[in-house]
Amino acid sequence: MQLSKQLQRADIEPHLNALKGWLRGNVAGMYVGRKRKNGHDTDQWSVILHVQYKKSADRLALDGDELIPPFIELPIAQKEGGHVMVKVPTDIQEIGPLEAPAPAEKPQPMASWDRVRPAPGGYQIQPQGLNATGTLGASFAINGQFRMISNNHVMSWNGQYTRIYQPDTTAPVNYLAPVSGFVPITLYPNSNQFNPVYNPCDLAWCNVNGLQCAPQIQGIGVPTGFAAPAVNMQVSYYGAFTDEVVHTSIATVNYIGIVRMMGNQYAWFENMMMLAENYSMPGDSGSVLVNNQMQMVGMLVSGSVFRTLCCLIPTQLIQ
């Protein structure tokens, strides 16, 4: 039998879809990464499972959670043809409870909280009626229209909110634009859903003009287009709460996970990016990731001290 340490990331990732049944209850996410031991990465590729809490076997049984084995056997394709059953290690990592982003309190001074016209990416926005803020991701021409993009959960909440202000709703003069469209997010009341619908992105947009929004992202510049994300790609973003350019890299482009959002609801996502470092704060949601070639590769959706998740920007869905 082939040794698991000889496996590569690409050998295991095609099998993640078959493991989605674990993604419920206490298990909040999964991806392929290096197994950790004593706080350090080893040379073994493994299926990493993010759990809200590490539990004893007795506690798992009491809570109705499934026991995750230390190894799983997967049919790994061989270069010479055929498949070999290989024991692939699992690595259980605790990330804490899933928490919905809270409204960000304004520290002083914060440039990204100022009213600016035309508004660049990286500045704070808020929908009328919602006591929470997020980040204007970027503005660019697509399908013959200049559009501003951010998260659905920042601007629209599946159509509940339609008027966007920058920086906030404290004054009528701050009104920026109406929401023109969004990609619906399928939500569930708890994290125990069987066979959930997996969302492709967290995206909403406003049709704007050059007097309302500017094409540049604060501290980064004007993006030149789009590119596919890749593992280890260097990226930068500017979040309205962090209020500075953050430089980091992409740890995986195949993260599958649960995100708590839009109040106390839960959404399942696939094909997400997880960043290598976790700098984002509440209020940074909607920030656009830009690579070193000034191409947009994704959008920040959820961040904590343990994981920062980003989604793709499927421009074909923007109408």
**Going edge to edge, which strands form the sheet with 138-142?**
138-142, 145-150, 204-207, 181-182
Instruction: Note the pLDDT of residue 109.
Output: 66
Instruction: Note the pLDDT of residue 101.
Output: 60
3-class DSSP assignment, residue 154: helix
* Residue from 226, 182, 236 nearest 206 by CA: 182
Please give the full DSSP string across 57-72, using - where no structure is assigned.
HHHHHHHTPPPPPSEE
pLDDT (tens, 9 = 90+) of the chain, 319 residues, equals 444 557 899 999 999 999 999 999 999 999 999 999 888 889 999 999 999 999 888 887 788 788 899 999 999 888 888 888 999 999 999 999 987 665 556 656 678 999 999 999 999 999 999 999 999 999 999 888 999 999 999 999 999 999 999 999 999 999 999 999 999 999 999 999 999 999 999 999 999 999 999 999 999 999 999 999 999 999 999 999 999 999 999 999 999 999 999 988 999 999 999 999 888 888 999 999 999 999 999 999 998 888 999 999 998 888 7
In 137-217 the beta strands, taken as DSSP E runs, fall at 138-142, 145-150, 163-165, 175-178, 181-182, 198-199, 204-207, 213-217
pTM (predicted TM-score): 0.93
Instruction: Note the pLDDT of residue 102.
Output: 56
Instruction: Note the pLDDT of residue 1.
Output: 43
Instruction: Note the pLDDT of residue 64.
Output: 79
Can you tell me which residue has the tokens 């590569």? 8
Instruction: Note the pLDDT of residue 38.
Output: 84
* Residue from 180, 171, 137, 184 nearest 310 by CA: 137
- The alpha carbon dihedral of 252, 257, 262, 263 has a sign of negative
Angle at 195 between CA 194 and CA 197, to 5 degrees: 125
Cα separation, 126 vs 157, whole angstroms:
12
Cβ(126)–Cβ(138) below 8 Å: no
Q: How many CA atoms lie within 13 A of 166 on its CB side?
A: 27
Cα separation, 149 vs 140, whole angstroms:
9
Ordered by where they begin, the domains of the chain are 4-94 (no CATH), 111-317 (2.40.10.10)
Cβ(276)–Cβ(248) below 8 Å: yes
Instruction: Note the pLDDT of residue 65.
Output: 81
Count of CB atoms situated within 10 Å of the CB of 130: 18
Instruction: Note the pLDDT of residue 108.
Output: 61
Count of CB atoms situated within 10 Å of the CB of 206: 25
- The letter for the amino acid at 109 is P
Using CA atoms, how far residue 225 sits from 220, 249, 290, 310, in Å, is 14, 19, 10, 18
For residue 134, give the H/E element and its range: strand 134-135
Instruction: Note the pLDDT of residue 105.
Output: 60
- In sequence order, which ranges of 125-184 are alpha helices (DSSP H)? 152-155
Burial 65-76 (b: 16+ CB within 10 A, else e): beebeeebebeb
